[in-house]
Amino acid sequence: MIDIKQIRDNPEKFKKAAKDKNFNVDIERLLEMDSALRYAKKRLQDLSTEKNRLSKSIPKRSENEKQFALAQLTQLKRDETQLQEEIKQLKPVFDEWMLFVPQPADDDVPIGKDDTENVEIRREGEIRKFDFEPKDHVQLGLALGIIDIERGVKLAGTRNYILKGDGALLHWAVLRFAIDYMVDKGYVPMSVPLLMKDETMIGTGFFPGSEDQTYRMEKDQLNLVGTAEVPLTAYRMGEVLSAEELPLKYVALSSCFRREAGAAGKDTYGLYRIHQFDKVEQVVICQNSVEESNKFHDEILANAEAVMQALELPYRVANVCTGDLGRGQVKKFDIEAWMPSRGNYCETHSASKFYEFQARRMNLRYKDPTTKKNHFCHTLNNTVIASPRILIPILELYQNADGSITIPKPLRPYMNGREKLVPVPHRSAG
């Protein structure tokens, strides 16, 4: 959420932000509501002052003056009731409109309409050149007996899957490696609930806007999270922290659920865009400082890159353009891994910086030890690894001509020291 004072002071800045981010928000109408609400509150305050003045003066008045003052007092009470009703009607509408105002992007974020206009910053790693005809991850997974999409769809519908045997072990190995790496970096591991209240989804900026992508438990008024960012960022919502506690650095491994409404074409093939997956997520909550936010934005990006480099997966980093930013993000770096079967770099991580957007919604603050004033925190988050999407480049880039898969070195300790996944002839489907 944005401070309304900023919108009053520079409405054109927020009109531009809405245009650049492709959000339809009527800033002029919002300011009209703000003006009406401020006037009503000021008038209510004036009425209260006038009521108090009249009430105190009545005992000192003559009988005729008392009757006149009492009549005035009655009218003031009627006016007060009317104003209270106006505020009661207007305030919820104003508050709802405020939730839709996007935060302006940083100055160095490229202007663009969608992800096709994201700007590449750099590439890391060498793209493998095969001396045989490579298979895609589905072909490899079926041959190894480690992926079963057909039965996943039978059990749960389209874009579902089952990882079994070595597929499940490789999936867990990737996640465990990422968790261990982050814990070694000093991030506090968290096991978090995956069903969130609406206020938590609103607080972290997912509502309004992502309702169509969210699995909703209507009976219980709860929502399955699409990322552990939600419970991690909201963990201390409504609290006033001490400055000494900051920064808070959390990491969580969780299942994630996304409806992926509108996904089509090659994105729905195999393990790329699916309804349920597991993700290791990192979150930082820091002091209200652009310099601090920038520092931790670089840090969480570096954490994810270190994991990719350890796995020796080629990738590129992109500065995400305005049209591909969320409502609250001021800047986002995407990491895109090279996926041979897709013939391109494809998004596997998103490192987002929010400044105080989420904290203001969640009323998450800290007390400045010098001024004794409370300030809203800054929040950031990034994927460390998400699987099984990351299995696409691992299986495809580490495949061998005989159909086996070389296990990346960092994952071998989690796979009982094994170096390869080997096809087993006549492997049963059970």
Catalytic residues: 258, 273, 347, 350, 389
Closest CA to 246 of 354, 375, 384: 375
Q: Label residue 292 exposed, middle or buried (CB < 10 Å: 0-12, 13-18, 19+).
A: middle
Cα separation, 100 vs 315, in Å, equals: 34
Helices (H), 311-420: 357-362, 391-397
Evaluate the CA torsion angle 53, 57, 63, 64 in order and state its sign: negative
- First and final C-alpha spacing in the chain: 51
Paired sense of beta strands 378-387 and 344-355, if any: antiparallel
Count of residues in the chain: 430
- Amino acid identity of residue 245, one-letter, is E
Residue 139 CB partners (closer than 8 Å, separation 6+): none
Residue 268 CB partners (closer than 8 Å, separation 6+): 158, 159
Cα separation, 251 vs 283, in Å, equals: 6
Cα separation, 385 vs 416, in Å, equals: 21
Query: What is the SS3 assignment for 100?
Result: coil
Evaluate the CA torsion angle 396, 400, 402, 408 in order and state its sign: negative
Distance of CA 86 to the CA centre of its chain: 35
Evaluate the CA torsion angle 57, 61, 66, 68 in order and state its sign: negative
Encoding tokens for residue 18?
Answer: 């809405």
Strand order across the 331-339 sheet = 119-124, 315-319, 331-339, 344-355, 378-387, 276-286, 248-257, 188-190
Q: Label residue 254 exposed, middle or buried (CB < 10 Å: 0-12, 13-18, 19+).
A: buried
